[in-house]
Amino acid sequence: MTWLLSRIVGGLKGLLLVAAIGGPFLAYTSWSDTERIHDIKARGVETVATIEGATERKSRRGGTSYTVALTWKDGTGQMLNADGVAISRQFANRIVANGRLVRSTVRIKYLDDGADVKPILVEDVEEQEGLDATMVQLGAAGGTVGIVGSGLMFWLGRRRRTVMA
């Protein structure tokens, strides 16, 4: 019985440590994506892009992500492209039916400053911002639980050892 309890507590400690590290990382990456979206919304150039393809990826844990490959002409007439542009499930359902694309174009905004070109889809931006906001909150909550729980678990474990010694 003691062996089982120590295994459970050890597993819980590991899980709390992962939450303490992974939660803030998730919050930061989602926050930085939100900042990128806000920057593009404020300073970006709007145009129409051609959807070259859409991809649905299922992870081992059961999650599904959707991306599109886009091409468009910039202000100088040069062709630009972006692969792996994330889209929401709702938007994917609007552009794909029965495994085939039902739309060929989409309105996008991108920064025309020569930096890394990663556009946002005008029709899907609210969904992406909502998802990012949720991920920031989940990451912050997970990090808080992980930090407080890890501290408590290690403090209790250390306290027990000093009492027995």
Type of residue at 151:
G
Predicted pLDDT of residue 158: 64
Per-residue 3-state assignment (H helix, E strand, C coil) for the chain = CHHHHHHHHHHHHHHHHHHHHHHHHHHHHHHHHHHHHHHHHHHCEEEEEEEEEEEEEECCCCCEEEEEEEEEECCCCCEEEEEEEEECHHHHHHHEECCEECCCEEEEEECCCCCCCCCEEHHHHHHHHHHHHHHHHHHHHHHHHHHHHHHHHHHHHHHHHHHHC
Question: Could you report the per-residue pLDDT of 45-86, keeping only the tens digit for each?
Answer: 899 999 999 888 888 877 888 899 999 998 888 898 889 899
For the chain, the distance separating the N- and C-terminal CA atoms, rounded to the nearest angstrom, is 23
Of 4 and 58, more confident: 58
Can you tell me the mean pLDDT for 136-160? 84
Share of the chain above pLDDT 90, in %: 38
**Average pLDDT, rounded, for the chain:** 86
Q: What is the pLDDT of residue 157?
A: 67
Residue type, 150: S
